[in-house]
Chains A and B, each alone.
Chain A
Amino acid sequence: MNEHEETEDLQAPAKLAEAFCGLQKERVLVPSQIDQEILSKAREHLRGSKRPFFSLPRWVALAASVALVCGLIYLSETRDKTFAAEDINRDGVVDILDALALARKIEAGEKGEMDFNRDGVIDERDAATIAIDVVRLGRGGRS
Chain B
Amino acid sequence: MDLDVASREQIDTRSDDELIASLNAGDASAFDVLYFRYRDWVVNLAYRFTGDREISLDVLQETFLYLARKFPGFRLTAQMKTFLYPAVRNLSIGARKKTQRFQSSEEELQVIENTPAVEDAFRENEPLSAVMAQLSEEHREVLLLRFVDGLSLGEISDALTIPLGTVKSRLHNALATLRNDPGTRGFFEQ
Q: Which residues of A contact B (CB under 8 A)?
A: 3-4, 6, 9-10, 12-13, 15-17, 19-28, 30, 32, 34-39, 41-43, 45-47, 49-51
| Chain A residues within 8 Å of B129, by CB | 23
- Asked if A42 meets B31 with Cβ closer than 8 Å, knowing A24-B44, A27-B44, A51-B26, the reply is yes
- Asked if A10 meets B53 with Cβ closer than 8 Å, knowing A16-B184, A19-B187, A23-B126, the reply is no
B175 and A9 within 8 A (CB): yes
| Chain A residues within 8 Å of B126, by CB | 23
A34 and B57 within 8 A (CB): yes
Chain A residue nearest to B148 in the complex (CB):
A20
Give chain B interface residues in 122-145, CB to chain A under 8 Å: 122-123, 126, 128-129, 132, 143-144
Interface SS of chain B: helix
In angstroms, Cα B144 to Cα A36, docked, is 30
A34 and B26 within 8 A (CB): no
New contact pairs (20) apart from A30-B57, A35-B6, CB-CB < 8 Å: A4-B153, A4-B154, A6-B153, A9-B176, A12-B147, A17-B147, A20-B147, A20-B148, A23-B122, A23-B148, A24-B122, A28-B43, A28-B57, A38-B61, A39-B1, A39-B35, A42-B68, A51-B24, A51-B26, A51-B72
Pull 28 A–B residue pairs with CB atoms less than 8 Å apart, ordered by A: A16-B188, A19-B128, A19-B187, A22-B123, A23-B129, A23-B132, A23-B148, A24-B123, A25-B123, A26-B47, A28-B53, A28-B57, A30-B39, A30-B43, A32-B2, A32-B3, A34-B60, A35-B35, A36-B1, A38-B35, A39-B1, A39-B31, A41-B61, A45-B71, A46-B68, A46-B71, A49-B71, A50-B72
- Asked if A25 meets B121 with Cβ closer than 8 Å, knowing A16-B178, A16-B188, A36-B1, the reply is yes
| Chain A residues within 8 Å of B43, by CB | 28, 30
Q: Give the most central of B1, B48, B60: most A CB within 10 Å.
A: B1
Identify which of B93-101, B108-116, B164-172 touches chain A. B164-172
In angstroms, Cα B71 to Cα A46, docked, is 7
- Asked if A46 meets B31 with Cβ closer than 8 Å, knowing A4-B154, A9-B172, A36-B1, the reply is yes
Q: Does B64 sit within 8 A of A, measured CB to CB?
A: yes
A13 and B187 within 8 A (CB): yes
B72 and A49 within 8 A (CB): yes
| Chain A residues within 8 Å of B71, by CB | 45-46, 49
| Chain A residues within 8 Å of B68, by CB | 41-42, 45-46
In angstroms, Cα B73 to Cα A10, docked, is 38
Chain B residue nearest to A5 in the complex (CB):
B153
| Chain B residues within 8 Å of A15, by CB | 186-187
- Asked if A28 meets B28 with Cβ closer than 8 Å, knowing A19-B187, A21-B148, A23-B126, the reply is no
In angstroms, Cα B71 to Cα A3, docked, is 34
Which of B47, B61, B164 contacts A37, CB < 8 Å?
A: B61
